[in-house]
Amino acid sequence: MFDLIREIGQTLKNNKLRTFLTGFAVAWGIFMLIILLGMARGVTNSFESNTNSIRSNTITVWGGNTSKPYKGYPEGRTINMRKDDREAILDDNENVSDAITSQYISNAVVSTSKDYFSAGLYGVYPKMQDMHRITMWKGRYINDNDLMQKRKTMVINKKNAELLFGDAEKAIGNTVNALGLSWTITGVYDDEWRDYNYIPYTTAKMLSGNNDRIYELQVVVEGLKTEKDGEEAEDAIRNTLSRKHEFAPDDKSATPMWNRFTSYLKNQEAFKILHIAIWLIGIFTLLSGIVGVSNIMFVSVRERTHEIGIRRAIGAKPRSILTQIVLESISITTLFGYIGIFFGMVVMQIISVVFADVEFLKDPTVDISIALKVTLVLILAGSLAGLFPAMKATKVKPVEALRDE
């Protein structure tokens, strides 16, 4: 084994320029593969971060306008969601575990003496924190006491808190102005996607005239496993609302819905296709380098025909010659491939730091599992690159090889 390693090392050393030029093509191919995989991972992480911020088994329902006449009602009728729609959906659907209403007030201007910003003002229940998986940075979310006493309390985004107060920590307990009223900041949440302002649902209802209309209804559905399950749950909710508001059961524009579960499945499928495409592009990029390695091994076999003939004449088996040629190919491919992996991972770390605040690219680094997969690709590629030259070497006849100069 040690003799074999020494022979491989000596062969590579005697052909430094040729080995370097061949290996560079392999290193470049692997480098590009790592960059592509890292960028894809960053986009995927960003998507999953946004998706995980809201429970994926949630269906959001809004009021809309009918698109067809029904039971004497004209087309274009406005369907307003009401609070008792929640109870109806819970009663009619066994797989619905919860349904939470929220009230949208407006795009309110929230200000202090220092600065201001404009963002949506939402009246919510405390359960909305769990449903939307809102991470509190400081303070607390809307609670039951806020609802009971109809307090003018508000929860805002960390970036907006920094804008208004300079230091986000100073926001807790301080007041802001919105809709001509003074609001106390009870909590600051940290989210790179949302910038909503949350207030107690009862306070929002009071500001909207205490009517029973609701802006949206978020329904939590359990037991969803397939896209078909998600679509059936959506149809069941629409049937309940159709009965209550008297519109056609198949009229989707009457009550527009966002089914996060089916959207999640479709997006997951899209990202699987993206990863497959990136692997194919990377492998084809690597293929140019592998072809170069194979050609170099053919040249090497031709130059060493006399040597191979001598080895065959003194009893070397074709298997040993095959092993040496294949291992030489794997050595070149693996050595320069790891150089490509190293520089690729370094570049991705730099990109991760430089683009840390970019929303669509979250932690675009390559983990150990991808490095192992690339290593396997390198070994297979090296084996294939050396296989055909090695097979040619085993067919060299000793007598003819000894005559070769």
Pick the last residue of a domain from 239, 259, 279.
259
Pick the last residue of a domain from 227, 259, 291.
259
For the stretch 45-78, pLDDT in tens is 776 665 554 567 888 899 899 999 998 889 999 9
Please tell me whether residues 171 and 71 are part of one structural domain. yes
The predicted pLDDT at position 54 comes to 55
pLDDT at 292 over 80: no
Please tell me whether residues 82 and 139 are part of one structural domain. yes
For the stretch 261-271, pLDDT in tens is 888 888 778 77
Closest C-alpha to 394, from 331, 301, 263: 301
Please tell me whether residues 305 and 253 are part of one structural domain. no
pLDDT at 148 over 90: yes
CA distance 164 to 218: 31
What is the domain range of residue 154? 58-259
Number of domains observed in the structure of the chain: 2
pLDDT at 238 over 80: yes
Band of residue 380 on the pLDDT scale cut at 50, 70, 90: confident
- How confident is the prediction for the chain on average, in pLDDT? 80
Please tell me whether residues 218 and 135 are part of one structural domain. yes
pTM: 0.61
Please tell me whether residues 29 and 65 are part of one structural domain. no
Band of residue 312 on the pLDDT scale cut at 50, 70, 90: low
The predicted pLDDT at position 389 comes to 66
pLDDT at 298 over 90: no
Pick the last residue of a domain from 259, 281, 312.
259
Please tell me whether residues 295 and 199 are part of one structural domain. no
Please tell me whether residues 368 and 246 are part of one structural domain. no
Please tell me whether residues 174 and 298 are part of one structural domain. no
Q: Enter the tokens of residue 29.
A: 């191919």
What would the DSSP string read from start to end of 323-392? HHHHHHHHHHHHHHHHHHHHHHHHHHHHHHHHTTT-TT-------HHHHHHHHHHHHHHHHHHHHHHHHH
Instruction: Say how many C-beta atoms besides its own lie within 10 A of residue 263's C-beta.
Output: 14
Please tell me whether residues 189 and 303 are part of one structural domain. no
The predicted pLDDT at position 377 comes to 74
Please tell me whether residues 163 and 297 are part of one structural domain. no
With the CA atoms of 54, 59, 62 and 65 taken in that order, what torsion angle do they form, in degrees rounded to the nearest 10?
140
CA distance 56 to 113: 40
